[in-house]
Structures are given as C-alpha cells and as structure tokens.
Amino acid sequence: MQPIHAPFPATRLRRLRKSPALRALTQENLLSAGNLIWPVFIREGEGIEEPVASLPGVNRLSLDRLLGRAEEALALGIPAICLFPYTDQSLRTEGCEEAWSPDNLTNRAIRALKRELPELAVMTDIALDPYNANGHDGFVREGVIVNDETVAALVKMALAQAEAGADILGPSDMMDGRIGAIRQALEAAGHKDVAIMSYAAKYASAFYGPFRDAVGASARLTGDKKTYQMNPANSDEALRLVARDLSEGADMVMVKPGMPYLDICRRVKDAFGAPTFAYQVSGEYAMIRAAALNGWIDGEKAMAESLMAFRRAGCDGILTYFAPEMARLLRA
C-alpha cells in the first residue's frame, strides 16, 4: 500500500522528523521490556558467576545467583527467562539420560524459580546437546542423527520440565514430528496449559559459536548440524516448517538466528499472524559487544537499534542476552 501524497514541495517528509515530539508522534514501532526474553546459562555450585570468554558480560550462574539475577530482571519488567544448562562433563553420555532426570540442573532451576518468583515465566530448551557425549541435538547412530528415537527422548525431557513447572517449552532440536509428539504427551499427562515455542525456522549457523562455548559443547561437537538445521539459503522452507509446527500444536514460533534472518521474521509474521519470536543469538551479541569494547561502535545505541529492528520486522518478542541491559536503558 503506497500512501498518496502531493509532489514536492507540498510533501516534505522531513517535516515529521524535525523535532523529538514529531518523531515520537510518528514512530511506527515500540520496544518495551515486555518484549524481551532473557536467555541464561546455569551451572552447579554456589555463589558463582563465571564469565564466558566469548560472550563478554554474560556469566554462567549457580542457582543461588540465578534467583537474584532473575528477581532483578523481573523488577525491570522482563516477563520471561530461558534456561540453558552447562552440564558437568561427567554427565554427558551417548544415551543422554541426564536430559530427562527429574533432578537435573535445569529442572532444579525451574522449581527454584517458580517457588521464589512465580510471576516470572520460565522457558526451557529441548534438545539433547547439553547432555550428549558428541554435542549433537539428537542421538547419533553410526554417524547419523536419528530422528524418531530422538523424538521419544525429547518427549521424556519435555515431560520432566513440565512436571518441574516450566511455563514455555522450547524444542530447539529440529527433529521432524517433535512438536506433535510433545503436545500429545503434555495433554495426556494433564499439562494442558504448558505453552510450546517451537524453534521452527532454525538455521545451521556460524553465529552459535559462543553459545556452544557457554554450554561446554564446542569441543565435543563432531561434524556440523546441517542434516537437521536449515540451509541459510532457504526461505520458503521456513514457511513450511512454521505451518507444520503450528499444525502440530506450537503456540508460538521462533526464527533463529535473528539479525541475518529478518526477512524470514517478516514472511512468517505476514503469512501466519502467529506469535513470532526471534533469537538474537550468541554470535550476534558477541559481534556488537566486541565492536563496542573496541570503541568502534556505540554499544548501547547498536543494541537498541538491533532490537527495534526485530519489532519492525514483525516480531512480538526477542530472546536476547542484552535483555537486562536493554530493559535498564528503557527505564532510564
């Protein structure tokens, strides 16, 4: 739709940019703390906030510290937190049994958060990589990442997380059929109000590098994830994946990574009108942070601009490691 306007000089588009007041009146999109989900890395221990070298400003938190930080995030207006465990190396096996242990690190964190901060929504990640001896999101059998056997394990993982009190489950594994299988299992177990945010369009991306350091999977990963994550050259396929996941029972869908895939966000939002999220992933955060630390860009402005871009592209919300910093800036 093209707005009709008279030719120059009757129309001078700069008129509406001349002052902060006119710019505010004509601003098309808004970003608020309520749009942010904060991904957090957790680890065993007490009193620990352990820096991640490739993610300056991001720490792995022991559960006591997690509660303090989560309380601050909630006070800043951030509605949800997403948990990613750094699993002890001794618990990473080919069978990934720790993934569905009711008392694993993630499930203990969910219980502690729901007990102390019930208003804060807790989201989890469903995939086997933090528990897998070889760093893949699914079971590996003779060099192949097997689909159906993995889905059965993901269902067990989902049920354990729902049982612990998770509000939103985030299957990030890209196996076929996992949304339907998880949704049916949740219904059967009486977890009717647990939401699923499907990592629907998840690309095989170089931008996940610092995340794999943070969860301790980098050194273990053999090969790449191209047989299950998407080809960065594809766009129509993202729509097929989103349609499939919505039809299987996803409540919300995600595009990941974020900034290099804003065109996908827009297509997904326009095609389905479903709650659409983007994950501004570790490598995107690291790029902005590293340039800012070098004095090459204004980190605060770049952060705010990058997050507004997701709103402009049609996203309802953004998972971002910047969440607390952005929320603080919005408050200022």
In the complex, minimum distance from the CB of residue 282 to ligand PBG, in angstroms, rounded to a whole number: 3
Whether residue 18 lies in the annotated active site: no
Q: Is residue 245 part of the contact set for ligand PBG (CB under 6 A)? A: no
Q: Interface with ligand PBG includes 213 (CB under 6 A)?
A: no
Nearer to ligand PBG (CB atom), residue 172 or residue 306? 172
Q: Which is nearer to ligand PBG, 150 or 172 (CB)?
A: 172
| Sequence-distant contacts of 295-304: CB under 8 A, at least 24 apart | 300/325, 300/329, 303/329, 304/31, 304/329
Among residue numbers 112 through 131, which ones bind ligand PBG (CB under 6 A)? Answer: 125, 127, 129
DSSP string, 26-75: T------GGGEEEEEEEESSSS-EEE-TTSTT-EEEEHHHHHHHHHHHHH
In the annotation, is 256 catalytic? Answer: yes
Q: Can residue 87 be called a binding residue for ligand PBG (CB under 6 A)?
A: no
- Catalytic pick among 18, 114, 202, 269: 202
Which residue among the candidates 18, 114, 192, 256 is catalytic per the annotation?
256
Q: By CB under 6 A, name the one of 107, 172, 198, 320 that touches ligand PBG.
A: 172
Cα angle 225-229-233, degrees, rounded to a multiple of 5: 110
Query: Count of residues binding ligand PBG (CB under 6 A)?
Result: 12
Residues known to be catalytic:
202, 256
The binding site for ligand PBG (CB under 6 A) comprises 125, 127, 129, 137, 172-173, 208, 211-212, 225, 281-282
